[in-house]
Amino acid sequence: MFSTSTILLTGVGAEGQVGEVVASAFAKLGASLILVDRRGEKAEARAADLVRDGGRARGYGCDLTSAQAVAELAAAVRREHGDALHALVHMAGGFAMSGPVAESAIEVWDRQLAINLKTAYVTARAFLPMLRRGGGSIVFFASPAALPGVSVARMSAYAAAKSGVVALMKAIAAEEREHGVRANALAPNAIRTASNVRAMGVDTRYVEREQVADAVVYLCSPQASAISGTVVPLE
């Protein structure tokens, strides 16, 4: 299905996280993968795992909060993989409670907006020209915290950041329709990742990583060609 596709995945460096399974799913379908993590050695390790299993992948390190660093990454990708990108799956980000607004730390607010919202904006902005050439699809990761009716007490920074991701996705979906680019977002409940299990234990109700990978693959596939501007909850 994706044998002629070049797909860029962010947030795939750490072993045991959702990016690992998403990358594996695309690799099994024949995609050529560009894996990005803040630490290049982690992205390269995940790429090596996929290549060892017969996949096609390259790993790159990049600070996605830096517009300059992302511009340099985009130039490297264009030089080494061609001008067309068929999908961008932005999984980079992170969660932290910020506490009641009145007692919250500005540092937590700034970091949550940086790692969740700024990275999404800077990355999409840099790679949209390549996605236009490839008629590509963008999948962002939102959160139930960005959905109506959900309590966001003590997590205002995270909720604001993920709500911003949804707004960004909707803007891109509207602006890029004429260029053949689609944009959607997933809003999964807690995913069974290594870090979440360490933090919340084994008895929490989780969304499985494979469920997330299936949803991502579908949203990037031709079968979802009519879907854009949509937030898809996963429970």
In a domain, 36, yes or no: yes
Looking at residues 37-47, what average pLDDT do you find?
Answer: 97
- Asked, for residue 208, whether it belongs to a domain, the answer is yes
Domain count within the chain = 1
Q: Is 146 domain-assigned?
A: yes
Whether pLDDT at 90 is above 90: yes
Q: Has residue 113 got a pLDDT over 90? A: yes
Q: What is the DSSP letter of 9?
A: E
For residue 202, pLDDT over 90 is answered with no
The amino acid at 214: D
Q: Is the pLDDT of residue 107 over 90?
A: yes
User: Is residue 120 scored above 90 in pLDDT?
Assistant: yes
Count of CA atoms in the C-beta half-sphere (13 A) of 186? 25
Average pLDDT over residues 189-216: 92
Instruction: State the average pLDDT for the chain.
Output: 96
pLDDT score of 37 more than 90:
yes
Residue 14, pLDDT > 90, answer no
Q: What is the pLDDT of residue 155?
A: 97
The whole-angstrom separation of Cα 186 and Cα 219 is 9
Whether 11 maps to a domain, the answer reads yes
In tens, the pLDDT along 139-153 reads 999 999 999 999 999
pLDDT at 29 over 90: yes
Token pair of 231, please? Answer: 């937030």
Specify the pLDDT at position 86. 98
pLDDT class for 19, splitting at 50, 70, 90?
very high
For the segment 189-200, the average pLDDT, to the nearest whole number, is: 89
Tens of pLDDT, residue by residue over 58-71, are 999 999 999 999 99
Range of the domain at 207: 6-95+116-151+163-234
Is 104 part of any domain? no
Residue 56 lies in a domain: yes
- Does any domain span residue 101? no
**Phi, psi values for residue 44, rounded to 5°:** -65, -35
Residue 228: CATH number of its domain: 3.40.50.720
| Sheet with 56-61, side-by-side order of all strands | 56-61, 32-37, 6-10, 87-90, 137-141, 182-188, 231-234
